[in-house]
Amino acid sequence: MISGISSDLFSIGESAMNVSQARMVASADNVANVDTPDYQRKNVLVEERAQGGVKVSSIEREDEPVDLAREMVNMTRAKRTYEIAAKVIGFADETLQTVLEMGDNDD
C-alpha cells in the first residue's frame, strides 16, 4: 500500500516538474523574443491526468505583445512549482525508504 502511494507521489511530482519546465521554456522564449516583430507569445495550457497529476495539453500562440513583468511572474511561479514538486518527490522517497527499513528490521 505504501509503495503504491509513493509511486503515485513520484508520478504526480514528476508531472508537475514537467509542466513547470514547459512553462519556464515558454516564458524564456517569450522574453528572448520580446523585440521580435510579429512574434506571438507562447502560453502553456495544462490539464489534469486521469491517473493523477497534470500534463501539458497544448502550447498556444497568443496574438498579443510580450509583457516582461508577466513573464517574470510566470517564471517565478514555474520555479516555485518545480521546487514544491521536488519536495513531494523527496517526501515520497523518504517514506519509501522508511518502509523498506522497517521491513528490514522485522527479521
What would the pLDDT profile of 29-85 be if each residue is shown by its tens digit? 999 999 999 999 999 999 999 988 999 999 999 999 999 999 999 999 999 999 999
pLDDT at 101: 81
- Residue-level pLDDT at 35: 96
**pLDDT grade, residue 10 (50/70/90)?**
confident
What are the backbone angles phi and psi of residue 32, rounded to the nearest 5°? -65, -25
pTM of this prediction? 0.82
Q: What is the DSSP letter of 50?
A: T
Task: For residue 25, give Cα distances in angstroms to 34, 38, 44, 90, 107.
Answer: 14, 19, 10, 24, 50
Q: How confident is the model at residue 2 (pLDDT cuts 50, 70, 90)?
A: low
d(CA 74, CA 56): 15
